[in-house]
Structures are given as structure tokens and as C-alpha cells.
Structure 1
Amino acid sequence: MAGRVAQAQREVRRAVQWLVQGSGLPAQPFYCDPARIGAFAVAPAELAAGTDAAIFRLFVTLSMYQALRDVVIMCQQRSLPRASMRVVADMAFVKRAITRHRCPALGSVESFEEGCDVTKTGETVDCGRCPGAACHVKDATVVFNRMGDMGKLPTSAWLRLWKSGGMSALLERVYQEELLPTKRAALLVEHFAGVHRIGRKLATMFVSALSTPALAPGLTPWFPAVDGNELVVVDTNVARAVDALREPAAPRTYDARERWVRHQASTLDLREFRPDLPRYSPRLVQQALYAFCSKSNRVAQGDVCAVRPTPCSGCAPTLCPFAASMESREVLAS
């Protein structure tokens, strides 16, 4: 038991060191890089200013990272022309499309989320309420090219969170309701998780992107009023990494895995790795696990370990998709 705990702490430390002292943290986050995601990229100056348009585009852009590997979604985003991006991620376009359409389902978030019945059957996208009619929700479904109702996501977001005063109004409500910056971050996650097809994981990723400076220096306009350092995104890669390092009988729930990451973060002083980092940041530790274990992302970024013939001196063998045992490779090579 003690040996397993020590091994887990050692491998988490090495993953964090790889992230902050190596090439794990890019100079510019992928969601600001046109070379990686094409027209979906958010202009850094607009993101730093926290404009409603920039935050809306970021929200929709990150919401697309569901169920498929990052490199697949990035390829899809790069391939889409600006006109397609505007259908789903341009706030002004989405607003005009909603306000000009006569469909009664667009009157409120409640009527929309209960009454919009857009579906995708094979390559055909239509609805029962206004069959055959042109509609931005149908167009969004075509752009996303995923499950039939994902095209509802941008409209749900605008009706639920941007329609009545935008982000400034939402933030003001949260500031009045909660005084602690870390709890404000958790409260904002609840708000964004309510958007159609979002949920806890994607909402956490989005809020932390705007409130965790270590992940994107200069591009987190909600910090320090909102502090995302204590948030944890438990995606498939992180869940697999946590399960590989914990006792086999440990509960495999979102909350249990989140607690484990928080505990690991409490054993580290991140300032040891870089003096500008906070002492405690479960979000940064979680990002290290995610990035270190993602074989496809590391290969796409030209990681030298992908072609290294032997493990490097700083290897974390249970976690590294290039140096792990065959059993671990099967678990972590996503």
C-alpha cells in the first residue's frame, strides 16, 4: 500500500514537471491558434478583454471536444470555413438567427429546450415543428456533424446565458451570491453545465480556461475575481490515469477521481517547478495528467518520446503511453 502511494506521488510529480518545465504548456493555448483550429480560434486580445463575443466563441469551440480525440476535433475545426464557424460560434450571427426566426420554440430557453425537435437521420437534418423550413439550429447540426440534437447547443447557450445582459450580468450575480473566488468558479460551472449537451466536465474546462492563469497567462479575464485553480476536469484520459495509479478497488466515480487529484495536488508545492505558479492548483495537476497521458496529442505535437528507443530518465512508467508496460499502454494510449 505505502509503496503504491509513493509510486503514485512520484509519477504525478514527474508528469507535473514535464508539463511546466518541458513542452507540455504551449506558449499559446490551442483555442487561440488558427493553425490548430482554423476559424474557431479566438483572438487573444479579445479573449484577454473578456468580450461577450470572444467568450461565446470559446464556449462553443470547447464544447465540440466531446467523445472524440482532440486531434480529430481540431482537424474538423480546421477544415470548416469561416461561414460554418459563424453558424455555431459567432454570437452576433446566432443572436440574429434567433430573433428573426418565426419558430415559436425560440421564444425562451424553456420553450426551446422542450419544444425544439431537430433530429439527424443519416445525412438528413429536419424537425417536426417546422419541417422543411430553413433554420440555424438545423444548420448548426450539419456543421457539428454529430448527434442529432447537438445543433441546439449554441442557441441554448445564448438563450440561457447571453440573452439577458451577457457575461457581465452573469458575473455580477455570481459575485453577489458568493464571496470566495474559488467558490465563484464552482458556481459558474453549475450555470454553464445547464446548457444543452454541456454538463459538468465541459463546463469545468470552460470556466477554468478563463480563470486559471497558469494554463494561459494573460488570457484569463475572470481571474482573480474568479479562481479556477481548484477545479478538476475528469475526462477519459484523466480517469484512466487516476485509476492506473490508485488502488484497484477505489470507486470509479467523477467525485472520487476529483478528490484523488485534489489530494495529489495538496502534496505538491508547484512553486518548486516554477516560481510564478500558485502553491496549490488541482487544475494544473489534472492538466499534467491529461497532457502527459495523451498519446495522440503528444504525437501530433512532435514529442520526442514518441520516437525515443528507450525510456527517458524522467519517465513515469505507469502513465507514459510510450514507455508503459503493455497493460498500461492499452489503458492509456488514447
Structure 2
Amino acid sequence: MSAPPLPTRGQLRVVEAATRWYLARYFDSPDDPGVTRRFTEPAQVGAFAIAPEQLAAGDNAALFRLLVMTTMFQRRQDQQILRILRGMSPQRAREVTDRDALLRHADACACPHTKTNEALINACDLTKDATRRGACQASPTVPCVLKEHTVWLKRYGHFGKVPTSAALNLRERGHGGLEELYASSLARLRTRDARAIACEEALTSSWRVSAKIACMFLSAISNPDLARGLAPWQRGLEWRRYVVIDSNVDLFLEAIAYRGSNTYEARRAFLREVSRRVDLRSMSRRLHRDNPRVVQQAMYVFMSASNRRAAARDCMHLGPAACRRCPRTLRERCAVRSV
């Protein structure tokens, strides 16, 4: 891959202004969609909430539950996904996040397409029928928990494959859980960057786990500034690799006239170059000087109109006077400006 374009002074001014805005308004608050703590709070995620001490310890069950939760955050607004999570019963939340139970169901199912991750991805044609019930053409009469999961998760018709695919992927790699994936990367690979890449690539072998979703999960358990005591994978991984690039981040990049390639790797490299030039320590002594995930989160929150409208703390609720006080570099790019 060719080197990313270097950020211009003008681009850096906008990024720095957005980062200061984010740190002042959102960072580490109950309305910050990027902090790991959100996944431990029943008020946010309902019965999916993880005990903080289990997450901090790198407990396999806690990590797998977090992985399933993070896969939900794609192509829908955060607030919609949070409502889905909160609306699921404790029993159903346990069933779709219990790795061992998912594997038992897959092994016991009469359908051959649940036996391997490859078959599940390529041969299983899980969908929803006209009545919104789980259905398929490959084994239409075979009882299958995936047909139930796809209804419970309230996403695409094929989304019910997600939890079982993640469980099969880990087993086929010889890991008893996600903690073993991490331990294996530490033992096999010499550099922090190689380990970080290996963990990301392993996760993206699961159904609907893109680089974005893998980075969301991995940053939640490795980034010291966003996890704050809940980062069991911080040691030994290049956690700066994990940035979450979605449509809102792309809107910000467009707003600052990013001219590089549109591949995930190119945008990731550009964000890391930007972060190297944004001194977070000068903005908050609580932060590492260079943290691309924090800079990226500032871009995301600033451009996320739905999250901002839902947050009472957002300056958009203060009316035109607040907009006039905002730096022009931000005001003219704001998705919810009043003036």
C-alpha cells in the first residue's frame, strides 16, 4: 500500500477543534458511544450488560458477549441498536452470547450447514420470510436455533448466523475462547503490530465481522483511554491500529477534503497520521499523547446527528447562540448547526 497523503494544516485545525469539542462535551460521559463502560451498564444494553470485573479480567464469556454486542452496531443508528439490546429478555441474551451452547446447538442440528464456519457462511441461506420469521431454502423443515436468533436480533434476515459463526470460527482455530486467541498471538508473534493484525484478521473470518466491527471490539478491550481499567488486551498489542471507520467518519473526512484512497487500510493510515500530529496530552492530562481511536471518535460523534440529537448535553440544544460561539471551522461543517 502506498503512503497515505499527509494531513494539511487546514485539515489538522479542523480535527483539533473537533477533538477539543468532543473532549469537552462527550468524552467518558454516559452519552459517549465509544467508551467500553457502556457495555457494562444495564441502562444502556439491558440484559447484555457485562460485569466490569469479568471484562477487566479477560473472562472468555464476557469477551464473547461483547463481541456479539459489537457486531450489532452496523448500518443502523446507535440508539436503535441500544433499544434492540435493551428489549431482549435475559434468557435470549444469554442464548445468543453463550459460546458453548451455540456450539452444542450447531453440532446437534440436523442441517449440515451449521457444522463448519465455511458451510455456515457459504451454504446457509438463512433469511426471514414474509411474516418476518426465520426461514431458509437449504433445510426448510429442519428445526434450527439460527432461525430463532435472526428474529430476536432484529437485523438482516441472515444476521442470525453471527453468534454461531463467531463460535465456530474460534473453535476451528483451536481456541477455547477469545482469551486463547489473544494468548496465542502473544506467544507466536514478536511485534505488537503483528499481534494486533493477527487478532483483527482472525475475527474478520466470522460472518458479518468486518474490519470496522473487529476494530470496534478490539479497541473496546485494548484502548487504555476508552476502556479505562477495562482493557485486558492492552498489553502486547498495538492498540493504536484499531480505529472504527464508518459512514459518520467518512462524512468528516469528506468535510475536510480527504483525497486519499477509499480502502479501509488507506483511511486507517491517514487517521493514524493525523493522530500523530494531534497532541491529546495538551488537551487532557488523562490521555495518551497519540491515540487515533480518540481522534476518530471525535470525528464520529461530531458528525453523528442521531447521537447528538439524543444527548441532552449536546450544544445543539442550546440554540443559535451556542453555534455562534463555536469556531467557524467547526460551525460550517456541523451536521446539526442552528445558524
TM-score, length of structure 1 as denominator length? 0.87
Number of matched pairs: 321
Q: Which range is displaced more, 74-83 or 311-320?
A: 311-320
Write the deviation string for residues 34-79 of structure 1: whole angstroms up to 9, x where unpaired.
1112112222111111111111110010101111111111111111
The answer on 1:149 being equivalent to 2:147 is no
Give 3-state SS (helix, strand or coil) of 2:224's partner: coil
Give 3-state SS (helix, strand or coil) of 1:139's partner: helix
CA distance in 1, matches of 2:116, 2:238: 31
CA distance in 1, matches of 2:77, 2:144: 29
Check conservation: 2:244, 2:296, Cα contact below 8 A.
yes
Check conservation: 1:87, 1:94, Cα contact below 8 A.
yes
CA distance in 2, matches of 1:99, 1:128: 20
The answer on 1:40 being equivalent to 2:51 is no
CA distance in 2, matches of 1:24, 1:120: 39
CA distance in 1, matches of 2:150, 2:103: 17
Equivalence for 1:95: 103
Q: RMSD of aligned C-alpha atoms? A: 2.3
Equivalence for 2:75: 67
Equivalence for 1:77: 85
The answer on 1:212 being equivalent to 2:220 is no
Identity value in percent:
33
Write the deviation string for residues 13-33 of structure 1: whole angstroms up to 9, x where unpaired.
122223334433226632222
Deviation at 1:162, TM superposition (A): 4.5
Gaps in structure 2 of 5+ consecutive residues = 1-6
Write the deviation string for residues 113-156 of structure 1: whole angstroms up to 9, x where unpaired.
33323222221322334323321111111112222221111111
- Please point out which of 213, 216, 219 is paired with 1:202: 213
Residues 105 and 322 (structure 1 numbering): CA distance in 2 closer, same or farther, change over 3 Å?
closer
Equivalence for 1:328: none
Q: Which range is displaced more, 9-18 or 231-240?
A: 9-18
Aligned letter for 2:286?
D
Check conservation: 1:112, 1:156, Cα contact below 8 A.
yes
Check conservation: 1:245, 1:318, Cα contact below 8 A.
no
Write the deviation string for residues 231-271 of structure 1: whole angstroms up to 9, x where unpaired.
22110000110111025x55444333323322211112211
CA distance in 2, matches of 1:115, 1:34: 36
The answer on 1:135 being equivalent to 2:159 is no
Map of 1:1-334 to 2, 5 A cutoff? Answer: 5-26=8-29, 29-122=37-130, 123-162=132-171, 164=174, 165-246=176-257, 250-309=260-319, 310=321, 311=323, 313-315=325-327, 316-323=330-337
- The structure whose RCO (Cα within 8 Å, separation 6+) is larger is 2
TM-score, length of structure 2 as denominator length? 0.86
Aligned letter for 1:275?
R
Give 3-state SS (helix, strand or coil) of 1:229's partner: helix
Check conservation: 2:111, 2:142, Cα contact below 8 A.
no
Aligned letter for 1:173?
S
Runs of 4+ in 1 over 4 A off after TM superposition: none
Q: Which range is displaced more, 190-199 or 252-261?
A: 252-261
Deviation at 1:314, TM superposition (A): 4.5
Give 3-state SS (helix, strand or coil) of 2:64's partner: helix
Give 3-state SS (helix, strand or coil) of 2:227's partner: coil
Deviation at 1:192, TM superposition (A): 0.7
